[in-house]
Structure 1
Amino acid sequence: MMLNGKNAARWGAGVMALALVAGGGGYWLGQRGGSPATEAGSTQVERKILYWYDPMVPAEHYDNPNSLSSMGMKTIPKYADAAPDTGPGVSVDAAAKQNLGMRVVAAEMGALPSGLTVNGTIDFNQRDVGIAQARSGGFVTRVYARAPGDVIGAGAPIADLQLPEWGGAQGEFLAVKRLGRPDLTAASRQRLRLMGMSDTLIGEVERTGRTNGTVTIRSPIGGVIQTLDVRPGMTLAAGQSLAQVSGIGTVWLNAAVPEAQAGLVRTGQGASATLAAFPGETFAGRVAAILPAAQADSHTLTVRIELVNRGGRLRPGMFAQVIFAGDGKPALLVPSEAVIRTGARALVMLALPDGRYRPAEVRIGREGGGRTEVLAGLAAGEKVVSSGQFLLDSEASLTGIAARPIGGGQ
């Protein structure tokens, strides 16, 4: 078949168009044929999210990632393909560990810091008290310049008393002595002693031959006058108290020990005190008594420590810090923040070897320096969670994971 020049040109253009269309179509088909495989190999399958929740309150479920829980915390997703539990414990992925700031430490043997530090106040030694009394009825002729709060020495005069009964007894003694009967004289002298007269006064009466019914009442001990109940001219009855004096050679330091730590203190235990009035100085003593009654308002026990008061520098009412000496015995210790106290029992969150966590019941003892003694329920080397354990405990409770009991096998 013959084609003219014009037809030939048209035929050539049509062939070129078909070739271009065929080429483009083949390229497009090739691209379409390889796309599913390419997309399957390069795109990750998205994980299905069941809901969003806060690990602190896992019972609350939310339907969007921007929700805030009742605790005010941002929620995290709960995936449908999360690995199922395979043992008695809570499984936490790496991202959640980082978000919770979890820290794991091992229980180890050690000694608690030697000492329990509490507050206390200085008080008078109530065993060192002197009473000045009238041994016979009479009246006051003179009162020395004394007042409550004065510091006086032993034997310091307080008041002069006129005792008529003493004068009559001394006259009888002188009359018996003139009889020249040694036995009667000795009996009469003994009667004067029983009435409260000193040998010095009896000797003076015997030497001078004159009666002396005036007596000076003196302080039996040195210390601080607490009460002074005597005035010039007043009449006194036999046995009436004139003054009360508290000694200051030793003082009591009453320390307030919390009842939860009362087991750390015992009678005879060493203690030291520091006072703001004497910086850099330490006063040493020993526990003299632990009072039997606790303070209902502060839930503390009063521990009485006796201190030597050299120079009378320790004054009742002063505030002090008291440190009780520890026993230094080795104990199994964990960080105090790792212990979950529920009121009925104490728990720790164990970090199991397979990356899971399980609560364990423990019996705890003393506490000090940020660490707590574990008496039972844990073995040395076992690892516990010291941060974020409350969230793990709530998750374990929600999923019904029982705590390992004491003695349940470490």
Structure 2
Amino acid sequence: MNKTGRTVLLVALAATIGAAGFFAGRSIGNRSAPATDERAIAYWRAPMDPTEVYDGPGQSRMGMDLVPVYEDELSGGDARVSIPDGFVEIDPRVAQNMGVRSTTVQRKSFSRQIRTVGEVGYDEERLFVVNTKISGWIEKLNVNYVGDTVRENEPLLEIYSPELVSTQEEYLLALQNVRNLPNGATPSIRADAERLLAAARSR
């Protein structure tokens, strides 16, 4: 090959390499350029509470993944203040995972059968404890089991008390003494007898 042929070959090879580098650079530049249709994220919020917002991704106080809020979703400014009071906004993905269903509000009777266990007790305000003021022992018990019916003025038991018998005898003697006072008894004697009768009755 002569000198002129080699020169033409080198020029053609250089042109080919230059063209390949030019197109490769354009291809790389196109791949590295950011997509113009990528949505811009305004902020991140909790799925269950739209007022709980964050600057970046992460988890909410309930341990759920934050969801992004995009700039094109904001209507009339920041969506954090566009939600009226009393409204709850749930991300559609969270609603789908939770199985949330909605329907029109209607007025109707609500009834549901519930099977449960319970314990029947006594009204503590109507329970009474009976205590005797004398010593002795019970000879007969008219109410002898829990839940027995008791009526007003019905005797509950019969008790024998030597102390009560002695006091009763003293009262009967004092009563007999007052009744046996002669008509001519002095007022002081009659007063003493009546005082003994009153003392025996109070015991």
TM norm structure 2 = 0.43
Flag the structure with more relative contact order, 1 or 2, with Cα contacts below 8 A and sequence separation at least 6.
1
TM norm structure 1 = 0.25
- Which protein has the bigger helix share? 2
